[in-house]
Amino acid sequence: MSDPNAQVPPDPNPGQPQPPSYATVTPLTAAEDRQWASFAHLGGILWFLPSLIIWLVFRERGRLTDVEAKEALNFQITFLIVYFAVFFLGTFLAIVTFGIGILFSFLGFALWIVNVVFSILGFTTVKNGGNYRYPISLRLIK
């Protein structure tokens, strides 16, 4: 019980708005940590945004989510760099010679399929309790 005679310290800035008090970050349970870490990989199907959002929101709440979301995000950034390089090269070559440009558009589709396959592999591996490392990935976020 609180003491009814206890003195409340005076407000140092009367009439001024007080800053909000933020609650401490609640850590994820082991199951939630594994769930969000696996979703970070699966989000790669929708490009890099789901991995980025999961990493920014949950990186301080779960160690596994921090590690796996960074891994997924690094792969998605690498994939975007390669995809746009193929896209711009294919567009340029389509202007010069139509046949090679069409070949590059098929290559872009094949790259997207590879991204989907690796994202699903990462999802299932982490969901089942393992860690997943993409075969090719620039380590841009450490």
Residue 45 forms part of a structural domain: yes
The secondary structure of 85-135 as a DSSP string is: HHHHHHHHHHHH-HHHHHHHHHHHHHHHHHHHHHHHHHHHHHHTT-----S
> Is 141 among the domain residues?
no
64 falls within a domain: yes
Task: Provide the 3-class DSSP secondary structure of residue 19.
Answer: coil
Residue 82 lies in a domain: yes
The parent domain of residue 111 ranges over 30-127
- Position 26 scores a pLDDT of 87
Domain assignment present for 56:
yes
Lowest mean pLDDT among 28-37, 76-85, 87-96, 113-122: 87-96
pLDDT digits (tens, 9 = 90+) for 92-128: 777 777 677 778 778 888 999 999 999 999 999 999 9
pLDDT band at 91 (very low <50, low <70, confident <90, very high): confident
The set of residues, in sequence order, having a beta carbon less than 8 Å from that of 36 and lying 6+ positions away, is 28, 54, 58, 62, 65, 69
Residue 55 contacts residue 70 (beta carbons within 8 Å): yes
In a domain, 35, yes or no: yes
List the structure tokens of 79: 């994939």
pLDDT of 21 > 80? The answer is: no
pTM of the model: 0.76
Model confidence at 82: pLDDT above 60: yes
Give pLDDT, residue 92: 78
Q: Which residue has the higher pLDDT, 71 or 104?
A: 71
In Å, what is the CA distance from 13 to each residue of 10, 16, 22, 36? 9, 6, 20, 42
Q: How many domains does the chain have?
A: 1
Chain mean pLDDT for the chain: 85
Question: Residue 50 is encoded by which pair of tokens?
Answer: 């789901």
What is the share, in percent, of the chain residues with pLDDT greater than 90? 53
pLDDT exceeds cutoff 80 at 18: no
